[in-house]
Amino acid sequence: MIEETGRVLSIEDGFADVETIRTSSCTSCRARHGCGHHAIAQVSSSNRMRMRAIDPLAVEVGQSVVVGIPEDTLLQASVWMYLIPLLGLIGGAVLPSVWGGESGIAVIFSIIGFAGGLLLARNKSKQEINNLDYYPKILRIESLKGDQIPLVFTP
């Protein structure tokens, strides 16, 4: 499961709009709490992403949540969006060499193959737009560490 932390912006009919901050390797870096790049990434609106996630936990607006998507779902989407157009490009470039076509024809066929692969990916995307397997899901509610006051007992 690929997970990302975000904040709930709105709730509607079993779904929640969640805003996450896109970070490259900031989440795995130990120095991220003292790093200026991580602080700027949190403030900058260009690194923010808003998504519609399935809400099985009945979250509330403002809560910090963890959303996730299965790896196999991401892999399937990546195959359709990257591999299919690439195969069209390569297939279009190789096809004219089978009958001894010129390199100019190979270029034209590769462009046609690439465009065909993009159209296939687009049609697949339109077919799967209502498939809930491709939606991120809220996995858990994160506790806000700053909101908790530690209790200290003295004997």
List alpha helices for the chain, DSSP H: 36-43, 71-78, 84-98, 103-127
Residue the block writes with tokens 């809400």: 55
The verdict on pTM exceeding 0.85 is: no
Average pLDDT over residues 60-76: 89
Higher pLDDT, 12 or 148: 12
**Concatenated DSSP letters for 7-29?**
EEEEEETTEEEEEEE--SSGGG-
Length of the chain: 155
Nearest to 115 by CA among 107, 68, 145: 107
In which band, very low, low, confident or very high, does the pLDDT at 97 lie, cut at 50, 70 and 90? confident
pLDDT for the residue 41? 59
Average pLDDT over residues 43-47: 60
- Please, what are the domains in the chain? 2-69+136-144 (2.40.50.140), 73-127 (no CATH)
Dump pLDDT digits (tens) for 99-151: 887 888 999 999 999 999 999 999 999 998 888 888 899 999 886 554 555 55
